[in-house]
Amino acid sequence: MQATIIDGKEISNHIRAGLEQKVSKLTAEGIQPGLAVILVGNNQASRTYVTSKQKSCKAIGMHSELIELPEDVEEHVLLNEIEKLNNRDNIHGILVQLPLPAHISETKVIETISPNKDVDGFHPVNIGKMMTGQDTFLPCTPFGVLEMLKYMDIPIAGKHAVIVGRSNIVGKPAGQLLLNENATVTYCHSKTADLASVTKTADILVAAVGRAKMLNADYVKEGAVVIDVGMNRDENGRLCGDVDYNDVVDKAGYITPVPGGVGPMTITMLLYNTVKSAQKVLANRK
């Protein structure tokens, strides 16, 4: 039987409609949620992501600002820009588009963003809060994965979730968020022996590897929920995931397509975090 397709665009639109109302209420209270994005250099992919983030902000009535710095910008200049944004009242979220040029320390940059405006959820303070189950900004892509599962009413507690990939921005937090929801979590990575024997035991399989169509039906248990975070190009230059969709779609119970799956959720959760930050400012003012 064909898997139920988890439609990231539909879920995104649903969440964004709710956010638009919150933005309008906040704006009426004199706090228009604002996101500042810093783009260093001229990486085309980064520019495309940034443009899309700005467009999405504006579409729901948020303020958005782009700060562009040259590829050879000195680290202290970038850190100084972040400090200025930390101190601005009309900016509730700060995002520095990664990757950065090699001469700039990503760690220093992330740690300079105020944890109160770290809407990417990458600051160690916010990661620590996520790990200890405290309220915080959750990293956008894993947060989007969780929201998709919840929207589809897919049970998580007691299920075996297998995460393929252990990056700090996707794999590790995805596993942590599912653990927080009482899943039993296994992480796989490039040194995992006999990957298929592990992934085939997953009730929920999250692929965050970065290898086009690597996981075919041999890696998937009948009826499993398959979440494909991967964004790759196939042999024809077309966007595709880490999962071999056509091979898996008849075996899985649920599946996310690429494009139109996790992708749209990432920006939506960025908007969500920025609105949440503005709401905190309002709550503190009252």
The DSSP secondary structure of 209-247, one letter per residue, reads: S--TT-B-GGGS-TT-EEEE---EE-TTS-EE-SB-HHH
Stretch that binds ligand NDP, among 32-40, 78-86, 159-167, 198-206 (CB under 6 A): 159-167
Is position 257 an interface residue for ligand NDP (rule: CB under 6 A)? no
Look up 153 and say whether it is catalytic: no
Specify the 3-state DSSP secondary structure of 65. strand
Report the residue from 154, 195, 281, 282 that binds ligand NDP according to the rule CB under 6 A: 195
Residues in 171-190 at the binding interface with ligand NDP, rule: CB under 6 A: 171, 188-190
Determine whether the annotation assigns residue 165 to a binding site. yes
Look up 97 and say whether it is catalytic: yes
Is position 263 an interface residue for ligand NDP (rule: CB under 6 A)? yes
Is position 50 an interface residue for ligand NDP (rule: CB under 6 A)? no
Is position 141 an interface residue for ligand NDP (rule: CB under 6 A)? yes
| Dist CA 167 CA 174 (whole Å) | 10
Report the residue from 11, 229, 248, 278 that binds ligand NDP according to the rule CB under 6 A: 229
Stretch that binds ligand NDP, among 53-61, 76-84, 165-173, 278-286 (CB under 6 A): 165-173
* Of 53, 159, 251, 276, catalytic: 53
| Dist CA 212 CA 227 (whole Å) | 14
| CB neighbour list of residue 228: distance below 8 Å, 6 or more residues apart | 207, 241, 242, 243, 245, 255, 256, 257, 258, 261, 262
Is position 98 an interface residue for ligand NDP (rule: CB under 6 A)? no
Report the residue from 121, 139, 142, 230 that binds ligand NDP according to the rule CB under 6 A: 230
- Cα three-residue angle 184-4-130, rounded to 5 degrees: 35
Strand order in the sheet with 254-255: 4-5, 254-255, 225-228, 204-207, 160-164, 184-188
Determine whether the annotation assigns residue 167 to a binding site. yes
Is the Cα dihedral 229, 249, 147, 133 positive or negative?
negative
| Catalytic residue set | 53, 97, 120
Annotated binding site: 165-167
Please give the residue ranges that form the binding site for ligand NDP (CB under 6 A).
141, 164-167, 169-171, 188-192, 195, 208-211, 229-232, 262-263, 266
